[in-house]
Amino acid sequence: MIEQGGSTIPARVIATCFALVSFAAAIVVGVSAGNSTLTILFRATGVMIVCWFIGLAVGSVAQWAILDHIHRYKQQHPIPDDSVPDT
């Protein structure tokens, strides 16, 4: 995986998607509740920041589980070496 800034790229992508979806949901909920524009934007921004960290944690756990599964699969199913001639 590509390391950059303490976390890997797939975990950050999951976190960003989670944050953007939460921002959009907060906007919709704020508009439907009849809040003022400034209140909606401040609350949606706060929700987006909090959800980015939650998404980063979820993405890191998911990424770790996938990489662990791949590592165990490769150990249990090694690629056979075809370079040795049969005698």
Q: Over the stretch 59-80, which tens digit does the pLDDT of each residue have?
A: 999 999 998 999 999 999 988 8
pTM value? 0.75
Which residues, other chains included, contact 44 with Cβ-Cβ below 8 Å and sequence gap of 6+? Answer: 23, 26, 27, 30
Which residues, other chains included, contact 63 with Cβ-Cβ below 8 Å and sequence gap of 6+? Answer: 1, 8, 10, 11, 14
Q: Over the stretch 1-23, which tens digit does the pLDDT of each residue have?
A: 545 445 578 899 999 999 999 99
